[in-house]
Each structure stands twice: as structure tokens, then as C-alpha cells.
Amino acid sequence: MMTLLLALLAAFAFSRPAVSETILVHAGTLLAVPGNDPVSERTLVIRDGKIVEIRDGFISLLPGEEAALIDLSDQFVMPGFIDLHVHLTGQSGDNSRNERITKSDAHASLRAAMYAKRTLMAGFTTVRNLGSRGEAMFALRDAIAAGHVPGPKILVAGYSITPTGGHADVHGYRAEISAVLASSGVCDGPDDCRRAVRLQVKRGADVIKVTATGGVLSNTNSGTGQQFTDDELRAIAETAHALGRKVTAHAHDKPGIDAALRAGFDSIEHSMWADAETMTLFKETGAWLIPTVYPITYVGDTPEKMKQGPFRNLPPASMEKLLRLGRQPRDMTKLAHQMGVRIALGTDSGVSPHGHNAREFLEYVAIGMTPMEALMAGTVSAAEAGGIAGVGSIAPGMAADLVAMSKSPLRDIEEVLRLTFIMRDGIVFKNES
Ligand SMILES: [Zn+2]
């Protein structure tokens, strides 16, 4: 009981809105903009949740001002991490197919709040939730922004845009149940798909997620090939852009990836079967690759491991699609990196456990990125790929989203798993430095 009470108190303490007092952070080593060299001994001046100034040396007081001091003078300080692909309303192993018909939207929202906190406590101060049912994620996004519950800033896609019977449609339930679960992201033909995109924006979507091809976890044997036609993809991308939204495609097989790139998509999620020709198309269009490597490491990167791992009870239709993947996510990401494709970090967390998000950095180093390149993917690059203003680097005017480690992740990337300090919008969520 006492433990529960303390946990609740901690939760409420976290949820204070950003205070207007000045906060000074002494940063021993500061990686303000990943991609640039770190500098030593700086003071960050923070007010109203934003960085207002970066000063040389350790200053303790501003003339005529009171300030709270946070001493990270022996720590490595950098921007909070960004994950462009999560699904906070559930997690594999939740028995989600059953819960979809037994649990309410309100229940999904509460569960998502728990996963959002885990994500924040892994150092991720901004995430994109790429596909969710009902109102749960919109409510959670707004509740976090208002300071009611702890969590990262969230960009919400709402329902994924999907064709009838496509990857993000409802599969394998009896017809009456499917009707109740119907998604307002289902559309067929360019005009209908314009309507579906507009509807998600009307519902509050910050970004448009599209299932351009089939996917692994939908319970259907229709494969991972292209599902939207070229003209549908063009209509979707044009409509999203006309409404000021980034548009990103879930895509596995090459023809679907290529079609989305040609249609003007801003990014491709997964991109499993992209080849060298597709990588060239990425570079020509300027689109970002969001490779989501870690889930397959978690699930098992060989058929043997997959059959015994956390996904061993997948329906046969899904298992058949999963078994094809193997080392492909790593091999594909390695090729993309070698060819100079722009890569931003996304994990598809919810497939892998929430809170494991930073393990994606380790995957990027494993395929040949330098630690600095990996850190860029999850900070400055993710902000640019997602069109997310005010995050991803530390500079005057940017959000005070900070993480700290006791040793440099540029020497050992695994330091990202050992955070000592987490701040989002000037609110301290962890300080064990
Ligand atoms: Zn996903």
C-alpha cells in the first residue's frame, strides 16, 4: 500500500506543468546538436520549458534572478530522443485481438498512459504514434500536453489509411464484430482516399500513416505486396500535404515502396525489401527511411528463434510472413546507410516492448553507423524527417528536452540504455546523476 502511495505521489509530482522559474543546468559535456562535436562546461539557461541561452562555463546565478540549479557537471548531456514509430495503445502479448472486442477505448487510453511513461523514462521525449483505434491516443496526447499524466510529446496519426481488406483493416472476426470495429481509415479509389485523409485530420491527426503494402501482423494471407494503387497513393500524399501533414507509408515489398516514393511520400516505415535501385529512388526524392530494426531482433532473426520467441503463437497467416524476414531488416538498413539514404529512428514499439526504444540505436551501430550517426537518427534527423519543430537539438528557442549519461555514448552506444537524467519541456522526470 505504502509503495503504491509513493508511486502515485511520484506520478503526480511528474505531472506538474513547466514552472516559470529559471533553471540552470551545468552540463559537463554538451552534445547540443548531434552531428557537431560536443563541447565541455556549458550552462543551459531554461525558462518556461524552453532553452533561452547557452553560456560558456558554469554560471550559478543571473543578476537579480533566482534560479534552480541542476548539477550535471560530470555528465554527458544531449537532446531528448525521438521515436517516429510507436503504437502506445498496446503491446504484443497483450492478447490484443481478444481485447479489441472486450476492452473499451477508455481502457486503451489508460494502458497507453502506462506505456507512454515507460517510453519517456527510456529518454524519448517526443514520439509519433502511427496508427491507433478510436479516441484513446488523441486524449492521451492532450492529457500529457496539459500536464495531467507523464509522457513524451506525441504526434498522433489516428487510424492508418488502408484499402478495404488491407493491412490496417479489421481481419478474421465474424462480420457483425468487424462492423463494430470498422476503421474510418479504410478507403478505395483516389476520391475516397482523399476523404479518409481529410477525416483523420478533422479528428485531430498530426501525421498521416498509410499502409501502402501488406504487413506481417495482420491476420490475412494476402502477403506483403503493394495494396494501394499508384493513383490512390498520389491522392493520399497530395491531400496530406495540402493539409500541412507529413505522410508516411508502411511498406514491405519493393513495388509498394517504390510507388509510395514516386507518389511523394515523406518517409517509408520498415522498407524491408528495398534494393539498391529503391535506395537510389529514396535519394532522388529526398524521402527518409525509418527502418524499425529492433523488433525483429526482439522477435528472433532466424526462423528457429521466431518459432520459439515471443511471437510463437502468431496465427499461421502472420507466422508465414514473419518467417521471411530473418536478417533482412539489418541487411536492408546496412545497404541504405552505405548508399547514403537519410535514416531516422523508429522502432514500431508495441511490437517490441515499450521502453526498449533506445535499443534501436544499438542496431544502427551494429550495421555500421558511427555512434554519432546513430544519435543523429534519433534526434536532429528524426525531428527533420517528422517535420517536428522545436525538438531534436539544444539551442535557444528549442524545447528543454534533455537526457544525460555518466559516460559518452560516442565511445559506447550502450550508454543510451543507462540514463541518469531526463527532462521534457523543463520538467525533470529523472535525476540520478
Ligand atoms: Zn507500426
Residue-wise pLDDT for 255-265, tens only, equals 999 999 999 99
Q: Backbone phi, then psi, for 15, in 5-degree steps?
A: -85, 5
How many whole angstroms from 131 Cα to the centroid of ligand 1?
Answer: 7
CA 289 vs. chain centroid, Å, equals 13
How many whole angstroms from 317 Cα to the centroid of ligand 1?
Answer: 18
> Does residue 11 have a pLDDT over 70?
no
DSSP symbols for 353-373: PTT-TTHHHHHHHHTT--HHH
- What's the pTM value of the predicted model, to 2 decimals? 0.94
> Does residue 403 have a pLDDT over 50?
yes
Q: E strands within 157-310?
A: 207-211, 246-251, 267-270, 288-290
Q: Which helix (H) or strand (E) holds 333?
A: helix 328-338
> Does residue 194 have a pLDDT over 90?
yes
| Together in a domain, 269 and 335 | yes
> Does residue 379 have a pLDDT over 50?
yes
Instruction: Name the band, by pLDDT with cuts 50, 70 and 90, for residue 20.
Output: low
Instruction: Name the band, by pLDDT with cuts 50, 70 and 90, for residue 229.
Output: very high
How many whole angstroms from 384 Cα to the centroid of ligand 1?
Answer: 20
Q: Is 391 exposed, middle or buried (0-12, 13-18, 19+ CB in 10 A)?
A: buried
How many whole angstroms from 87 Cα to the centroid of ligand 1?
Answer: 6
Residue 36 belongs to what domain range? 2-80+393-431
How many whole angstroms from 351 Cα to the centroid of ligand 1?
Answer: 8
| Together in a domain, 179 and 212 | yes
pLDDT digits (tens, 9 = 90+) for 276-321: 999 999 999 999 999 999 998 998 888 888 888 888 887 877 787 7
> Does residue 167 have a pLDDT over 70?
yes
How many whole angstroms from 326 Cα to the centroid of ligand 1?
Answer: 18
Instruction: Say what the pLDDT of residue 267 is.
Output: 98
| Together in a domain, 37 and 122 | no
Q: CA nearest 107: which of 118, 120, 94?
A: 94
| Together in a domain, 181 and 251 | yes
pLDDT digits (tens, 9 = 90+) for 22-65: 999 999 999 999 999 999 999 999 999 999 999 999 998 767 77
Mean pLDDT, residues 224-236: 95
> Does residue 4 have a pLDDT over 50?
no
How many whole angstroms from 271 Cα to the centroid of ligand 1?
Answer: 12
| Together in a domain, 28 and 127 | no
| Together in a domain, 64 and 33 | yes
How many whole angstroms from 345 Cα to the centroid of ligand 1?
Answer: 13
Structural domains of the chain, count: 2
How many whole angstroms from 252 Cα to the centroid of ligand 1?
Answer: 12
Q: CA nearest 269: which of 396, 388, 382, 175?
A: 382
pLDDT cut 70: percent of the chain above it: 95
How many whole angstroms from 60 Cα to the centroid of ligand 1?
Answer: 45
| Together in a domain, 21 and 137 | no
Instruction: Say what the pLDDT of residue 12 is.
Output: 44
User: Among 386, 401, 416, where does a domain finish?
Assistant: 386
- The protein residues having their C-beta less than 5 angstroms from ligand 1 (an ion) are 348
How many whole angstroms from 386 Cα to the centroid of ligand 1?
Answer: 15
How many whole angstroms from 51 Cα to the centroid of ligand 1?
Answer: 32
Instruction: Say what the pLDDT of residue 9 is.
Output: 41
pLDDT digits (tens, 9 = 90+) for 115-153: 999 999 999 999 999 999 999 999 999 999 999 999 999
Mean pLDDT of the chain: 92
CATH code, domain carrying 36:
2.30.40.10
Query: Could you count the other beta carbons within 10 Å of the beta carbon of residue 182?
Result: 11
CATH code, domain carrying 365:
3.20.20.140
How many whole angstroms from 19 Cα to the centroid of ligand 1?
Answer: 35
Mean pLDDT, residues 102-116: 95
| Together in a domain, 39 and 159 | no
How many whole angstroms from 200 Cα to the centroid of ligand 1?
Answer: 17
CA 215 vs. chain centroid, Å, equals 18
How many whole angstroms from 156 Cα to the centroid of ligand 1?
Answer: 12
| Together in a domain, 37 and 182 | no
pLDDT cut 90: percent of the chain above it: 77
Q: Rounded to whole angstroms, how far apart are CA atoms 26 and 58?
A: 6
How many whole angstroms from 362 Cα to the centroid of ligand 1?
Answer: 20
How many whole angstroms from 10 Cα to the centroid of ligand 1?
Answer: 31
How many whole angstroms from 86 Cα to the centroid of ligand 1?
Answer: 6
How many whole angstroms from 89 Cα to the centroid of ligand 1?
Answer: 12
| Together in a domain, 194 and 86 | yes
| Together in a domain, 219 and 316 | yes
Instruction: Say what the pLDDT of residue 111 is.
Output: 96
| Together in a domain, 344 and 423 | no
Q: Sheet with 207-211: list strands edge to edge.
A: 207-211, 246-251, 267-270, 288-290
